[in-house]
Amino acid sequence: MMSEPRRLLSLISPFYNEEHGVCAFLERVDALYQTLADRYDFEVIAINDGSRDRTYEELLKAQATHSYVTVVDLSRNFGKEAALSAGLDFANGDAVVPIDSDLQHPPEVVLELVAKWEEGAEVVLAKRVDRRTDHAVQKFTANGFYKLHNSISDIHIPADVGDFRLMDRKVVDALKQLPENRRFMKGLFAWVGFRTATIEYHVAPRSTGKTSFNTWKLWNFAIEGITSYSSAPLRIWTYLGGAVSAMALLYAVYLLIKTLCFGVDTPGYASLMITILFASGVQLIGIGVLGEYVGRIFVESKRRPVYIVREVIKPHR
C-alpha cells in the first residue's frame, strides 16, 4: 500500500535590518521544524528587504546550518507588503504562513494553525488577544482604523488580525493572480475569501531591535488601506460639497430678502473672511482626497513590478 505524499509547509519571513535577530528566529523555527518533521517537509522563504546592516550576510551564514532556508534578496527596500508578495511568489508549500522575523509572532503558534488547516480550514487567522506590546496611541488608532474601514468598505478586515495566518495553496494561487502594484495585504487576504477559522495568541515582545513603523508610517498605512477598498471618502466630499452649496444658497436668499426689506447693511469683514476660509478649506481637503485616488491610478498605470529580486540563494541539500 502506497503512503500519502508528504506535504510541504512554507514560512514566509521578511527581514529588514534584523542582523541580530536572525539566529534567534531560526532557532525557534528549528524547534518547530523538529516537531513537524515526521509529517511535513519544510521551507523558510527569508526575504531580505534591502537591509542596510549585515542581515543578508547573517541569513547566508544561517543557511549553511539550516537546509530549509531559501534567501530572496531584493534589490532595495520595497516595504513589507512587497516583501510578503515576493514570499508568496517563491513559496512552494501546500500551506503557507507569513510570520514576522522579530518573534512577535511566536513560531509555536504555527502548530495550532496547522491543526486547524488539517481540520479543513483553507485560511486560519491568528488573532492577537491583546495589544500590550503597543503604546496608547497605537491601540487607539488601530481600533479606530478597523471600525472606520469596516464601516465604509465592502471588504471586512477582522480586527486584531495581521499578516500572521496560514493559507492553503489554493488561497496563495488566488492571491498571485491579483495584479495591483500598490498592495495592502490585509485587504487582499480578506478579499479572496475561502473557508476561514481563527485561533488566538499572545503577541510577544520583539526579540531584538526596534520596529521601523512609527506613527506617521502607520497613519499613511491606514490611508492606503481605506483608499484601496472604499470610494466612500469621495462620496463624503460630494455630499459635503452639496451641503455647503445648499447653505450658501439659503444664505444668499436670506441676504436678498433682508436687503429688499431693510436696505443694505455695511458688510462684515469677519463673517466674509470666515466664509471664504471655510469654503476654501473644504475645497482643499476635497482636492486632497481626490488626489489620493488619482495618485493610486497614476502608480497603477505605470505597471511597474511590485519588487525586483537581486538574487535568490537556494539551500544546498
- Each domain of the chain, given as residue ranges in start order, spans 8-217+306-313, 232-302
The per-residue pLDDT for range 218-275, each reduced to its tens digit, is: 555 556 655 565 666 666 666 676 676 667 667 667 766 766 676 655 566 456 656 7
The per-residue pLDDT for range 80-124, each reduced to its tens digit, is: 888 988 999 999 989 999 998 888 888 888 898 998 998 888 999
Closest to 37 (Cα-Cα) out of 125, 126, 114, 119: 114
Q: Is the dihedral of CA 155, 160, 163, 169 positive or negative?
A: negative
pLDDT at 256: 66
* Residue 215 reports pLDDT greater than 60: no
Return the CATH fold of 8-217+306-313.
Spore Coat Polysaccharide Biosynthesis Protein SpsA; Chain A (3.90.550)
The per-residue pLDDT for range 11-55, each reduced to its tens digit, is: 999 998 888 888 888 888 888 888 888 888 889 999 998 888 888
Mean pLDDT (whole number) for 288-300: 73
Using only C-alpha atoms, the chain has a radius of gyration, in whole angstroms, of 25
Contacts of 307 (CB under 8 A, 6+ apart): 74, 75, 78, 82, 83, 85, 86
pLDDT bucket at 1, cuts 50 / 70 / 90: very low
User: Please, what's the largest Cα pairwise distance for the chain?
Assistant: 103
The per-residue pLDDT for range 129-145, each reduced to its tens digit, is: 875 655 555 555 556 66
* Distance in angstroms (rounded) separating the CA atoms of residues 27 and 19: 14
Residue pointed to by grid coordinates 495584479? 179
pLDDT at 255: 66
pLDDT at 141: 59
pLDDT at 312: 86
Q: Which residues pair with 309 in a beta bridge?
A: 74
Mean residue pLDDT across the chain:
77
Looking at 163-177, 191-205, 274-288, which range is the least confident one? 274-288
